[in-house]
Structure 1
Amino acid sequence: MTRPPAAVLLVACLAVVTTVAGLAFAWSTRPGSPAATGSEPPRDELRCGAEACRPVVEQRVGPDSVALLVGSGVGRIRASGASGPNVFELTIAASGAEITERSLQCVDAEVGVCLVRGEVGSEVRGEVLVRRSGAWSRAQVPYVSSGGHLGLHDVNRDAVADVVAVQRECPAGVDCAERFAQVFSLVDGGDELGCTAVVEAPELLPGWPAVVPDAADLGPCGG
């Protein structure tokens, strides 16, 4: 049998390669493929230490959203809105605070406020984000409660949520039932607004377990 000339074999091979390449191109440009849309395959947007961040809880604050993400002992707070995505370090996660679906409390108003809190031993530690004119920023004051509650409530009724921290009225390292509420404003640098009178049990604080004192309940702290 006569063998086909080398040129014929070369042409046949090129035809096969061209056909395979054409099929591959058609597959890559099918509707919805990365090449057809001009986008890369999805990647992890955010990393928490050595692993991808894991979402824990998210809340809407008007048109914005605030989410807590954790992983490898590292945490992030992601605030998304008209000003674009903003990512802040979750500092209480680095201190060992337990972050759960109950760790986020937000109040929507002209000045939006979100409190992130978590338990570390017998304390509740927290940090705050504030939205003014559509932009989120971190309040620089860290908050600590030794008495089992850290939350938001507009105590002085200025339309900006205040931070309410319940404290134990006993020496450090000693457990006792006596409690009082300490209140901080998020206006003008986070000044202390005052404290409630000491009560004999936390259940006697106004609104316990979500403590909601009135401005009239406050007096000088340490008095």
Structure 2
Amino acid sequence: MTRPPAAVLLVACLAVVTTVAGLAFAWSTRPGAPAATGVEPPLGELRCGAEACRTVVEQQVGPDSVALLVGPEVGRIRTSGASGPNVFELTVAASGAEITDRSLQCADAGVGVCLVRGEVESEVPGEVLGEVLVRRSGAWSRAQVPYVSSGGHLALHDVDRDAVADVVAVQRECPAGEDCPRRFVQVFSLVDGGEELGCTEVVDAPELVPGWPAVVPDAADLGPCGD
């Protein structure tokens, strides 16, 4: 069996981009909504929809703290510390992703990276949406590419060993709307704006994915996606 053409994966990602962008714009234009980034108000004054935000999980990333904050209608990502206070909209929450204490993974090297992920309801269980914050030169910014895993695993791992975490997504190779055990790994670099590093060969069961369930492919495992 061959891997799905890269164009198919690109179309899926573009659909998510359109949905996320629309939801983020709609929220940003609501009266009283805070800016996507900027000076953080005191936590007691920070609103997540109709209620004050509550912290779900927080991690230390070098000299900074990164926290996920949620409410009944919306979520936010708060950074504080040496980089200064900032608040970002939590776009995957707006797209229906479930945010839990396992939704945040950060890696700190020369470039700090935090991945926020959450499972969403879909025709086939296990679809995960993710977004990434990157700290360069002491300032946090949002990576513009949203990430999707159809195979139930989305995480950070420095696959190419360049001291910058990569995004590792497990994908199903199944007919549309159907579940099956076949899986492959798709890897994206955060160095060049979300460039695809490559994909592993398709295997016949999730447990055959390199490193499952941690999923830590080596660069030598990757080939062109869609071949």
Output the TM-score relative to the length of structure 1: 0.80
Matched position secondary structure for 2:220: helix
User: CA–CA distance in 2 between the matches of 1:222 and 1:73?
Assistant: 38
Higher CA-based Rg? 1
Within a 5 Å distance, the mapping from 1:95-114 to structure 2 comes to: 95-114=95-114
User: CA–CA distance in 2 between the matches of 1:212 and 1:93?
Assistant: 26
Partner of 1:212: 216
Partner of 1:118: 118
Within a 5 Å distance, the mapping from 1:66-145 to structure 2 comes to: 66-121=66-121, 122=125, 123-145=127-149
Taking CA–CA contacts closer than 8 Å with sequence separation of 6 or more, which of the two structures ends up with the larger relative contact order?
2
Give the drift of 1:189. Answer: 1.1
Task: State yes or no: 1:195 paired with 2:169.
Answer: no
Give the drift of 1:43. Answer: 7.2
Give the drift of 1:83. Answer: 2.4
Please list every run of 5 or more consecutive structure 2 residues that lacks an aligned counterpart in the other structure. 1-41
Deviations 1:14-53 (A, max 9, x none): xxxxxxxxxxxxxxxxxxxxxxxxxxxx872310011100
Contact persistence 2:50–2:73 (CA under 8 A): no
User: CA–CA distance in 2 between the matches of 1:73 and 1:50?
Assistant: 7
Matched position secondary structure for 2:93: helix
Matched position secondary structure for 2:105: strand
Q: Considering only aligned residues, what root-mean-square deviation do their CA atoms show, in Å?
A: 1.1
Give the drift of 1:202. Answer: 0.7
Please list every run of 5 or more consecutive structure 1 residues that lacks an aligned counterpart in the other structure. 1-41
Query: Which stretches of structure 1, 4 residues or longer, exceed 6 Å deviation after superposition?
Result: none
Matched position secondary structure for 1:67: strand
User: CA–CA distance in 2 between the matches of 1:217 and 1:182?
Assistant: 11
Matched position secondary structure for 2:56: strand
Partner of 1:172: 176
| Number of residues of Structure 1 aligned to a counterpart in Structure 2 | 182
Give the drift of 1:153. Answer: 0.3
